[in-house]
Amino acid sequence: MQALSREELQALVKEAGAPAYRADQILHWLYRQRVGGWDGMRNVPKSLREHLAERLVFYPLTLVRVQGSRDTTRKFLWRLADGSFVESVLIPANPALYGERSDRRTLCVSTQVGCAYGCKFCASGLLGWKRNLTPDEIVEQVLSVERWYAQQADREGADGSGLRAVDNLVIMGMGEPLANYAHLMKALALLNAPWGGGIGARKITVSTSGLVPQIRQLADQPLGVQLAISLHGATDEVRGKIMPVNRKYPLKELLAACEYYVSRKGRMITLEYILIEGVNDALSEVPKLALLARRLHAKVNLIPYNPVEGLAWRRPAEAHCEAFLEGLLQRRVTATLRREKGCDIDAACGQLRLRMEQERSAV
């Protein structure tokens, strides 16, 4: 449904001549019961539902494919009303062992169809940018996964109605979230609101390739989300080779914007660093990266590159990734190395859509 704030919904309810509390009943159905249409809202009078149905349309995402990997990461491919594809990935915090359910899950959502930033290593950029997602298409990824999760539980004999699938949200799917700033912020406000998605701001991470003006804008608005920067290079030379955005916003400006964010929000930021063989993984890069991270008091998240069909980049050997991590730790940088999840289902951003589009054009 069109993503409405509580006030906007209250205004529509008032216009229909119904009491204000009806708006909260509807929000309860939308965000707690996660109904996918007006019919399910049993305690809302039919006349009000009909009035609203003429003004507000539900646009459900159509689930095209769910892929699972061994560690129970699940990847969802959705078709939107205009036939475009986007992806969301549900990642368990502790991979479920021996068939037990994992207790915490993170959902990675998309914000655009394709991406205009053309990072050389990324599947999302390969097909170019098609359009921004609307706020409701962003919110619906969360609600649709919640619906799917509850249905799975029902099927397994448990009562899925009160279950929650999504504890953490990462805005790291397809697209550059800060290039769709207004829609993103509207969606996050709804997902964060106590009457809406109820996901705390600290549990929401926005990842950007480094759009400097929007990082500053994000620092100046009230929602205190976590910020992750796709750094992938500790010098302009290395970063510029793989990320065209670095020409517009070189490291000096990016770091200043990050410092501003940290000073306004008092939050530690994360620097994402994909390790790509022969491109940015030389151990001589470690001291430069450590210097940047210490200057920003940032945490470094190392991610071995996930190979993309049609691109020649490769991930370094595991021992080399460990040595890179060790180098950072020795320099007193807080750092982690992702021991890959979801690699066997093309879980890096844009990879599933890329495959889908390729299959479609091959028909």
Which residue numbers are catalytic?
87, 349
Q: What angle do CA 185, 189, 195 make, to 5 degrees?
A: 165
Q: C-alpha distances in angstroms, 44 versus 72, 155, 161, 302? A: 38, 28, 19, 50
Who contacts 205 (Cβ-Cβ below 8 Å, separation ≥6)?
Answer: 168, 169, 170, 171, 172, 225, 226, 227, 228, 270
Cβ atoms of residues 166 and 196 within 8 Å = no
For CA atoms 139, 140, 143, 148, the dihedral sign is negative
Query: From residue 298 to residue 337, what is the string marking binding to ligand SF4 with x (rule CB under 6 A)?
Result: ----------------------------------------
Q: Which stretch binds ligand SF4 (CB under 6 A): 36-44, 121-129, 277-285, 305-313?
A: 121-129
Residue type, 123: A
Verify binding: residue 180, ligand SF4, rule CB under 6 A: no
For ligand SAH, the binding residues (CB under 6 A) are: 121-122, 172, 176, 207-209, 230, 272, 274, 303, 305-306, 308, 348-349
Could you write out the three-class secondary structure of 207-269? EECCCHHHHHHHHHCCCCCEEEEECCCCCHHHHHHHCCHHHHCCHHHHHHHHHHHHHHHCCCC
CB of 10 to ligand SF4, least distance (A): 36
Verify binding: residue 176, ligand SF4, rule CB under 6 A: yes
Taking residue 151's Cβ as centre, other Cβ atoms within 10 Å add up to 11
Phi/psi of residue 112, nearest 5 degrees: -145, 160
Indicate the residue among 10 and 168 with the shorter CB distance to ligand SAH.
168
For CA atoms 181, 183, 188, 193, the dihedral sign is positive
Phi-psi domain of 350 (left: phi exceeds 0; alpha: psi -120 through 50; beta: other): left
CB of 252 to ligand SF4, least distance (A): 20
305 binds, among ligand SAH, ligand SF4, none (CB under 5 to 8 A by kind): ligand SAH
CB of 208 to ligand SAH, least distance (A): 5
The residue within the footprint of ligand SF4, chosen from 209, 214, 246, 280 (CB under 6 A), is: 209
Verify binding: residue 238, ligand SF4, rule CB under 6 A: no
**How many residues touch ligand SF4 (CB under 6 A)?**
12
CB of 307 to ligand SAH, least distance (A): 7
First CA to last CA across the chain, in angstroms? 33
125 binds, among ligand SAH, ligand SF4, none (CB under 5 to 8 A by kind): ligand SF4
196 binds, among ligand SAH, ligand SF4, none (CB under 5 to 8 A by kind): none
Residue with tokens 């620092």: 219
CB of 80 to ligand SF4, least distance (A): 17
How far is Cα 43 from Cα 30, in angstroms, rounded to an integer? 13
The residue within the footprint of ligand SF4, chosen from 1, 89, 349, 352 (CB under 6 A), is: 349
Verify binding: residue 125, ligand SF4, rule CB under 6 A: yes
CB of 274 to ligand SF4, least distance (A): 9
Verify binding: residue 115, ligand SF4, rule CB under 6 A: yes
Half-sphere exposure of 4 (CA within 13 A, CB side): 20
The residue within the footprint of ligand SF4, chosen from 108, 119, 303, 308 (CB under 6 A), is: 119
Residues engaged in binding ligand SF4 (CB under 6 A):
115, 117-119, 122, 124-125, 175-176, 209, 230, 349
